Amino acid sequence: MTASPKPIVLLLGEVLHAQDEWNALSSLAELRQINTGDREEFMSDCAAGVHNGILAISRTYDSVEVRLTGRFDRDLIRLLPQTLKFISHNGAGYDQIDAEACANRGIAVSNTPGAADASTATTAIYLLLGALRRVHIPATALRAGKWRGSMGLGHDPEGKTLGILGMGGIGTAFALRAAPFDFHLQYHNRNPVVHPSKNPTNAKYVSFEELIRTSDVISIHLPLNDTTRGLIGRKEFQMMKDGVVIVNTARGKIIDEAALVEALEQGKVFAAGLDVYEREPKIHPGLIKNDNVVLMPHIGTATMETQRKMEILVIDNIRNVLEEGSLLTPVVETRSHNL
């Protein structure tokens, strides 16, 4: 009797930090890889049946960044093989995949919740403190041989009201790191956090409008979706306290960058700390030229430890598919298809 052929798993991009764990899957599946080409070629190959037979895709974040496939939108998803049932995505945010379109095709999608919480939260703390002290001005002056340059005084965190938009895993990790600085912590979610373990700092739940109106610092930790896209615009900036500080390590498209630039130039916003941008890798020139903005190039998860944790979770999702027939961390939109 001939053995049944192994299921096929397609890797898009490179596994850089958990190669041994990835290679170990070869005992359970035939492993294929794409690390060259572009979106047009991938879609053409799908249409021609080149990838027929694959059960699961392991998708790196860089497969979007280097344009191997681009975003998994409806146009691409409709061309994917009918045999494809699972996509394991490397990233806590999964706006690079149209999860609803996947659900309509009967494809379950997973992400990497938890793996990026600590490093992203630590990045947000760095940006928060840097923005409060407007650290870009003296740091740049020092390297130019001008000592402190034209710096003014910054602010201490003690006693300030810190508003956290989104108290998920990253928002909670951020609150834990912010609490020792003696902030008054408040947050807004779609719903209040019920279990104390999910709100260990006992941050106060407030409405979205109250958070916007009363916070001295606002830090964004929301997923990008149709509800949060453009959530912070000119109207919201006008509602904020004069001299507010804005921190964003979530997704750039949550903030209207033109409105943020305007608020910075008017002095409504004292400073900002940003790791994400509306049209990455392009950055609004008004942010580039404003010395009151601390800028980082979307590196919130750029540590060796976090990248390995994320890759391991992606691989664990694939392993669970091969051994148990389901993903470990399915996204909410496709949970009913994770069977």
CA 101 to CA 157: how far, in whole Å? Answer: 44
Q: What angle do CA 326, 225, 116 make, to 5 degrees?
A: 60
Nearby residues of 42 by Cβ (< 8 Å), 6 or more positions away? 34, 68, 69, 76
Contact between 182 and 201 under an 8 Å Cβ cutoff? The reply is: no
- 50, burial (CB in 10 Å: exposed 0-12, middle 13-18, buried 19+): middle
DSSP tally for the chain: helices H, then strands E: 13, 12
Catalytic residues: 251, 280, 298
Please give the Cα distance from 322 to 9 (Å, whole number). 9
CB 188 within 8 A of CB 165: yes
Paired with 34 in beta bridges are 12
Q: Give the 3-state secondary structure of residue 231.
A: coil
